[in-house]
Amino acid sequence: MSEPNPAIPAPALSLKQVTSLLGNTERWIVLRELCKEPALPVSELARRIGRAPSMASQHMGLMVKLGVVKSVYGRMYALTPAFRPAPGTFEIDFGHCLVRLDRPQS
């Protein structure tokens, strides 16, 4: 068995965490919206995914627990620096996969 390449950093999330995060279409939309804005309130995220604020809060709770999103200024949420894509792009590198969020999900 070959040894890991030291030039490639270890993934920030386990594969199980990545599949949990990306296993819901609404979370893909939230990630895309957070790529566009520095921070958004939970009420606006709820509106953008077409769900109640309580459901958006549940999604944000999981994403905060995984370290992908952080709470700023109270009920505002932002991508953590480790997962913030380069300006003008909509790609997030989760280590196990590169997620392209530039097109609306259906």
Mean pLDDT of residues grouped by 10 in the chain (106 residues)? 53 86 93 92 94 94 95 90 89 89 63
Cα–Cα separations (whole angstroms), residue 60 to 19, 21, 27: 16, 10, 8
Number of domains comprising the chain = 1
Q: What is the pLDDT, as a whole number, of residue 102?
A: 75
The answer as to whether 6 is a domain residue is: no
Q: What is the pLDDT, as a whole number, of residue 31?
A: 94
Characterize the bridge pairing of strands 40-41 and 91-93: unpaired
Q: What is the pLDDT, as a whole number, of residue 89?
A: 87
Question: Is the Cβ–Cβ distance between 54 and 8 less than 8 Å?
Answer: no
The answer as to whether 84 is a domain residue is: yes
Q: What is the pLDDT, as a whole number, of residue 72?
A: 93
Q: What is the pLDDT, as a whole number, of residue 7?
A: 56
Predicted TM-score (pTM) of the model is 0.82
51: domain range? 15-100
CATH of the domain at 45: 1.10.10.10
Question: Is the Cβ–Cβ distance between 60 and 42 less than 8 Å?
Answer: yes
The answer as to whether 8 is a domain residue is: no
Q: What is the pLDDT, as a whole number, of residue 61?
A: 94
Quote the CA–CA distance of 5 and 80 in Å, as a whole number: 25
